[in-house]
């Protein structure tokens, strides 16, 4: 597939996999995906598996991501993980503001913006998630909600930092439900986000930033979604937990 921006497909393992299971999955993916050059591939295991998985992917084309981090540096923050700690395992990406964290941990746009800034300061590339709830879509508020999240969660980033940030558009109603947004629905919101980036930063930046789609992406719908002009990759939950599914999904996207 001829894309304007290189696709980036990331697996969000969420709160799944023991260390042994993580190693199995990571080493299976290294084997299956070793010849893929057309896509930037990342896997985001739970914190407990980062150390071992980092060793399994070290010489491969698979990069490591984390699922969250603190906005604070080292210090008295019981139960938190600092960006510097993630860097110890050659982590490249960090998912921020996933809808599950926005909902269950009450993460605000302001907090996510502080985390994104801290990620960049530590040399990590954030994957900043945005997306509307079903009621918001049905009430015709998708652009309002997504627009507010984009403005708020990226507030304070320099142009250079924005260029090193990935946005993941994940309609909440499509996450883990088997209900994928149609390729047309995804494209519409992605184009809206890109136009907003042009307004907030500039046209060149907007053109360069990669916007992933997330929400029930599977091997059989990946190609159609990825063929949309403003869809530059995927953030994958359920289908990233299995070697065959995730590698097929990636190969089908090329």
CA 243 to each of CA 17, 30, 109: distance values in angstroms, whole numbers, following the listed order: 13, 9, 34
Smallest separation (angstroms) from ligand PGA to the CB of 198 = 26
Phi and psi at residue 67, to the nearest 5°: -100, -5
Looking at the Cβ atoms of 100 and 136, the one nearer to ligand PGA is 100
Told to judge if 98 belongs to the known catalytic residues of this protein, a careful annotator would answer yes
Told to judge if 190 belongs to the known catalytic residues of this protein, a careful annotator would answer no
Question: What residues from 149 to 188 belong to the interface with ligand PGA (CB under 6 A)?
Answer: 170, 175-176
One residue of 65, 126, 131, 215 binding ligand PGA per CB under 6 A: 215
Q: Work out whether 214 is an interface residue with ligand PGA (CB under 6 A).
A: yes
Q: Which of 112, 108, 66 is nearest to 87 (CA)?
A: 66
Smallest separation (angstroms) from ligand PGA to the CB of 235 = 4
Q: Work out whether 11 is an interface residue with ligand PGA (CB under 6 A).
A: no
Binding mask of the shown chain, residues 43 to 62, with x at each position contacting ligand PGA by CB under 6 A: --------------------
One residue of 128, 166, 235, 250 binding ligand PGA per CB under 6 A: 235
Q: Work out whether 217 is an interface residue with ligand PGA (CB under 6 A).
A: yes
One residue of 216, 228, 247, 253 binding ligand PGA per CB under 6 A: 216
Smallest separation (angstroms) from ligand PGA to the CB of 100 = 7
Which of 100, 132, 136, 170 is the catalytic position? 170
Looking at the Cβ atoms of 187 and 240, the one nearer to ligand PGA is 240
Which of 98, 100, 120, 132 is the catalytic position? 98
Residue nearest ligand PGA, Cβ-based:
237
Residues contributing to the site for ligand PGA (CB under 6 A): 12, 170, 175-176, 214-217, 235-239
Residues noted as catalytic: 98, 170
């Amino acid at each position: 597939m001829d894309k304007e921006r290189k696709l980036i497909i990331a697996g969000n393992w969420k709160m799944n996999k023991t260390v042994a299971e993580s190693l199995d999955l990571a080493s299976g993916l290294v084997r299956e995906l070793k010849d893929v050059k057309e896509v930037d591939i990342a896997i985001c295991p739970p914190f407990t598996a980062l150390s071992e998985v980092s060793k399994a992917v070290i010489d491969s084309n698979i990069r490591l991501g984390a699922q969250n981090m603190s906005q604070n540096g080292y210090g008295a923050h019981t139960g938190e993980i600092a960006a510097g700690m993630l860097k110890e395992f050659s982590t490249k990406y960090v998912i921020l503001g996933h809808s599950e964290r926005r909902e269950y941990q009450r993460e605000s746009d302001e907090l996510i913006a502080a985390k994104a800034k801290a990620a960049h300061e530590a040399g990590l590339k954030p994957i900043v998630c945005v997306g509307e709830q079903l009621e918001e879509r049905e009430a015709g508020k998708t652009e309002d909600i997504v627009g507010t999240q984009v403005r708020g969660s990226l507030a304070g980033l320099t142009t250079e930092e924005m260029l090193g940030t990935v946005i993941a558009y994940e309609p909440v109603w499509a996450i883990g439900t088997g209900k994928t947004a149609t390729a047309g629905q995804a494209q519409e919101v992605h184009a809206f986000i890109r136009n907003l980036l042009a307004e907030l930063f500039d046209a060149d930046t907007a053109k360069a930033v990669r916007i992933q789609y997330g929400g029930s992406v599977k091997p059989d719908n990946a190609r159609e979604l990825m063929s949309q002009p403003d869809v530059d990759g995927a953030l994958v939950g359920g289908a990233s937990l299995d070697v065959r599914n995730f590698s097929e999904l990636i190969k089908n996207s090329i």
